[in-house]
Amino acid sequence: MKIAVNARWLLPGKLEGTGVYTLNMLKRIIPAFPQHTFILIYDRSTFEPLSFHTSNVQQVVAGPPARHPLLWRVWNNWSIPAVLKRKNVDLYWSPDGLPAATNIPQWITIHDLNFEHHPEWLKPNVANYYRKHVRKSAQLASQLFTVSAWSAADIAERYNKHVEDILITPNAPSTVASNNTYNPDPYFCAVGALTPRKNIITLVRAFESWLEQYSERRHFRLKIAGSTHLVNTALDQEIQQMRFKENIEFLGHVTGKELETLYSNATAFCMPSAMEGFGIPLIEAMQYGTPVISANNSALIEVVSGAGMLIDTYDVSAWANALEKMVTDGSTWVPLGIQRAERYNWERSAAVFIDALKKNI
């Protein structure tokens, strides 16, 4: 059997949600089927390689680099189908929610429907493309996957599917924590692409308010890691007028040991996002023994599930109070977070996919 995979999110040194999911799932799925051929299709010649070598993997580059809706259309409607036909593929898996123009069976992972609920968070052409083509994915896929029970229910309701037909393959930490002893330094951290959906503006407002209220806390810093996808003028303007803007550090994209250190030494990890299909950084922070503060919405509620503080998404005062509570009593959340993080691992998630594939071979 030949199984092709949309691997265009495996960007070297720039893995974010979809890329992390794709890489970690493939690391477990491919070794489970040595008798079958996996064809990984990239949209550029530079990509994140798998950390093992196996003879049943072929890697194919099919341009153009698809980083714009017009080029997504070209890639999914012409480039991918050409590879599928040339390689005589039996099954195509797209982990980014977008289908290919092909008649062969397609398995598709839809992470969340933020573009349906809040198209204003994206450029109009991006939101429109996703709304049209992810809906198409939901209708044509022979098997749908998602990363949380919340997303499964949302997809089922929005696209008129049976929720029990959607298989849940949750995200998990990319690495196993070597140390989860809570000995915090005086800073809070946040991790994620700097887009409007991440609602970082509420966090910086709360941080400013907290420092205004507690003069003895003014040595604390807020460290924010993540790539900027859009020019966020509202956030930029907010920070420029802040009294304590020098206490905020933007670190850019952070990975590896640097990310581990960021999580491990924080007083608390903060995730004010307005909507998430999962929220990988929450689980990553928890496993390092770092208490978490999360917005009280979407799949974030499911992931935190009593192991961290849940705060009204846009309530600046409540977020400021939560920061103070973490300084005075953050250690109480540590064992709960560690225990919660242990529920998520890539072996368990990949096993759902592997079992489904075994039934279809």
pLDDT in tens, 198-208: 999 999 999 99
pTM of the model: 0.94
Neighbour tally for 228: CB within 10 Å: 14
pLDDT in tens, 81-119: 999 999 999 999 999 999 999 999 999 999 999 999 999
Query: Which pLDDT band holds residue 53 (cuts at 50, 70, 90)?
Result: low
Report the pLDDT averaged over residues 302-310.
Answer: 97
pLDDT at 3: 98
For the ranges 52-56, 175-179, 193-197, 322-326, the maximum mean pLDDT occurs at 322-326
| Matching residue, tokens 């003028």 | 233
Helix (H/G/I), strand (E/B), else coil: 206: helix
When the pLDDT of each residue in the chain is averaged and rounded to a whole number, the result is 94
pLDDT at 194: 87
Nearest partner of 142 among 181, 180, 192, 90, judged by Cα: 90
Q: With beta carbons less than 8 A apart as the criterion, state whether 101 and 85 touch.
A: no
Q: Which helix (H) or strand (E) holds 126?
A: helix 124-140
Token pair listed for 332:
């109480």
pLDDT at 235: 87
pLDDT in tens, 342-354: 999 999 999 999 9
pLDDT at 227: 82
pLDDT at 231: 61
Report the pLDDT averaged over residues 2-30.
Answer: 91
Whether 230 shows a pLDDT value over 90: the answer reads no
Structural domains of the chain, with CATH: 2-172+345-360 (3.40.50.2000), 187-341 (3.40.50.2000)
pLDDT at 360: 87
**Phi then psi for 195, rounded to 5 degrees?**
-120, 160
pLDDT at 55: 84
CA–CA separation, 104 and 102 (whole Å): 6
> Residue 41 is which amino acid?
I
The DSSP secondary-structure symbol of 90 reads: S
Whether 228 shows a pLDDT value over 90: the answer reads no
Neighbour tally for 248: CB within 10 Å: 17
Helix (H/G/I), strand (E/B), else coil: 49: coil
Report the pLDDT averaged over residues 148-171.
Answer: 98
Whether 15 shows a pLDDT value over 80: the answer reads no
pLDDT at 50: 67
Q: Go through the chain and tell me how many residues it has.
A: 361
Q: With beta carbons less than 8 A apart as the criterion, state whether 80 and 102 touch.
A: yes
Whether 142 shows a pLDDT value over 90: the answer reads yes
pLDDT at 232: 61
pLDDT in tens, 253-287: 898 899 999 999 999 999 999 999 999 999 999 99
Whether 52 shows a pLDDT value over 60: the answer reads no
> Residue 309 is which amino acid?
M
- Is pLDDT larger for residue 15 or for residue 334? 334
